[in-house]
Amino acid sequence: MMLDSLNAIDVTTLSPHNRAYHALLTSQAMYKAYITPTSDSIINVAYNYWTEHRYSDRLYMRALLYKANALEEMQQLDSAMIYYKRVEQITEGGDPYYHGMALLRQAEILSRTTVRPEVDKVISKFEQARKDFESCDSTLLYQAGVDQVCGYFYNRKNVDSAIIKLNRSIDIYKQLHDTTSLCRSCFYLATSYFESKQYRNAIDAVHRVAEMGRPLDRNRYYLLIRAHIRLGELDSAQIYIANCPKPVTPHERMYYSALKLENAAQRNSQLIKWVTIAVAAVVALLLVLAVLAYLNRRRRKSLLNQLERLRQHSDDQIQRLTEALESHENDTADTKTLQADLVTQQGRSDLVNDVINMLTFAGPKKSSIMSRRDIEINVNEGFWEKLYQFIDGVYPGARKAICSVDGVNEKDFKEICLEVLDLPLPVIARMVDSLTPHSVSTRRSLIRKKLDAASLTGRQVLKKYST
């Protein structure tokens, strides 16, 4: 509103003094409206006039300050520092307000551009500015206090306390309705959050500046880019890199290029990270499968060993019975018993050999590695007929008696018959289409309950029901 009124005035009708005062007020209004000057031509009218006519030191100091401020806004920081130092020298021991302002602006420029070893110099200027504002009882005391905290922040020793003081100063600036200082405090708060690795809070603090209508400068864009990179939000960082104002100074161009390289490197590191995780997962899966395959091979080997021992035992029994028969020359009762046992043992041995011949293993599929269903036994009807003939010969009438019991079916009888052959549980499970050996044991207990023979073995059950 004020800037529009000033622009409506025809400066050609003004006296040199009023023309200079008009230029000073216009520069001040542009600064308050966040309008970045494209040149220092406007403030030069006031500066040149009061440089020649030094009857008002206060107006001369204001012209010097706003000229330095215009150069600072135009990113001509070296030139701005020269004018701020002139104000500092002229007001030394005089006006504390302008002396404090000159120190404050120098400290702010140094805080953005200085290298780490000059931090003490920055803090010293902040403290001097604070004392000057205290002596003239200015409300800018709060601003100097915030900037002093910023100086301590650059020392990287009191970041947590800086965050507390900055939040407190923001509340004060809200009460004073000082939008300029409020935006500056939010930016310093964002920087402090970033240094303490609270990147999300840093982003929120910068967005608070944008919500107050203050355009984001390069430094704020740089902070947003770095924060998003640290959070791994590379797409958001790329958006801010694209929207960031173009760098002007060589230092800014170098820093801007470094940010782009960091974003690209972070993106590549994320890709490498996910590739590494995927490779590790594949290796872990292969390791698990290899261990399971090894355990499965051991189980197969153990099962084959059991069957081999069973066959060897049957052969030993047959040989022992044959030798015993040869030692009995007469047709005695013992001889008949030995002959019956030999026939029984031979029948059992034949059946065990048939089972071994029918036994095969599935290929190394996932299902065969992860479960016990890799055992395959192609049982034909001829085997069951042969088994029933053997049972009927050894235990006559047992089949009919057991199958006549309520709740007992042919599958139950098959399990009892296979138990007589002393076959391993995994083999029995596959021959009667059960899922696991455990299910065979459970089913066997249920069959015993139906037959009222809980404590009896398969042979004892058949013997009990045989005639």
Which tens digit of pLDDT belongs to each residue from 395-454?
Answer: 888 888 888 888 888 888 888 888 888 888 888 877 777 656 677 788 888 888 888 888
pLDDT of residue 61: 84
Q: What is the pLDDT of residue 362?
A: 58
| Predicted confidence (pLDDT) per residue in 161-192, tens digit | 778 777 877 777 777 777 777 777 788 888 88
Query: Are residues 359 and 307 in contact, defined by beta-carbon separation less than 8 angstroms?
Result: yes
Residue ending a domain, choose from 157, 179, 210: 210
Predicted confidence at residue 369, as pLDDT, reads 39
Residues 204 and 313 in one domain: no
- Predicted confidence at residue 138, as pLDDT, reads 65
Query: Is residue 297 domain-resident?
Result: no
In terms of domains, do 9 and 156 share one? yes
Among 174, 194, 210, the domain-final residue is: 210
Residue 364 has pLDDT above 60, yes or no: no
Give me the pLDDT at residue 442, please.
82
- Does some domain include residue 60? yes
What tens digit of pLDDT does each residue of 276-328 get? 888 888 888 888 888 888 887 887 788 788 888 888 888 888 888 888 777 76
**pLDDT recorded at residue 295:** 82
What is the secondary structure of 55-98 as a DSSP string?
T-HHHHHHHHHHHHHHHHHTT-HHHHHHHHHHHHHHTTTS-HHH
- 289 occurs within a structural domain: no
Range 61-79 average pLDDT: 87
Q: Which long-range contacts (CB under 8 A, 24 or more apart) does 112-116 make?
A: 112/219, 113/77, 113/251, 116/154
**Average pLDDT for 196-222:** 80
Beta carbons of 205 and 190 less than 8 angstroms apart: yes
Burial class of residue 147 (count of CB atoms within 10 Å of its CB; 0-12, 13-18, 19+): buried
Q: Which of 78-92, 259-273, 345-359, 375-389 has the lowest mean pLDDT?
A: 259-273
Same domain flag for 200 and 312? no
pLDDT score recorded for residue 434:
60
Q: How many domains does the chain have?
A: 2
Find the mean pLDDT for residues 330-343. 72
In this structure, the number of other CB atoms found within 10 A of the CB of residue 168 comes to: 14
Mean pLDDT, range 19-23, rounded to an integer: 87
Confidence of residue 206 (pLDDT cuts 50, 70, 90): confident
| 31 lies in the same domain as 151 | yes
With left for phi above 0 and alpha for psi between -120 and 50, is residue 199 left, alpha or beta?
alpha
Task: Give yes or no: residues 337 and 200 share one domain.
Answer: no
Which of 189, 210, 231 delimits the end of a domain?
210
pLDDT-based confidence at 370, cuts 50/70/90?
Answer: very low
Residue 243 located in a structural domain: no
CATH code, domain with 157: 1.25.40.10
Q: Which domain holds residue 52?
A: 2-210
Domain presence at residue 254 = no
Per-residue pLDDT at 141: 63
Strand partners, 359: 377
**Residue 224 forms part of a structural domain:** no
Structural domain contains residue 96:
yes
What per-residue confidence (pLDDT) applies to 365? 45
Positive or negative: CA dihedral 140, 141, 143, 148: positive
Among 22-31, 121-130, 344-353, 416-425, the minimum mean pLDDT is found in 121-130
pLDDT of 8 over the 80 cut: no
Q: Give Rg (Cα) of the chain.
A: 49
Centroid of chain to Cα 49: 63
pLDDT at 347: 81
pLDDT of residue 59: 84
369 compared with 408, residue with greater pLDDT: 408
pLDDT above 90 covers a percentage of the chain that reads 0
Report the share of the chain in percent with pLDDT over 70: 81
Answer yes or no: is pLDDT of 353 > 70: yes
Round the average pLDDT of the chain to a whole number and report it.
78
Asked if residue 387 belongs to a domain, the reply is yes
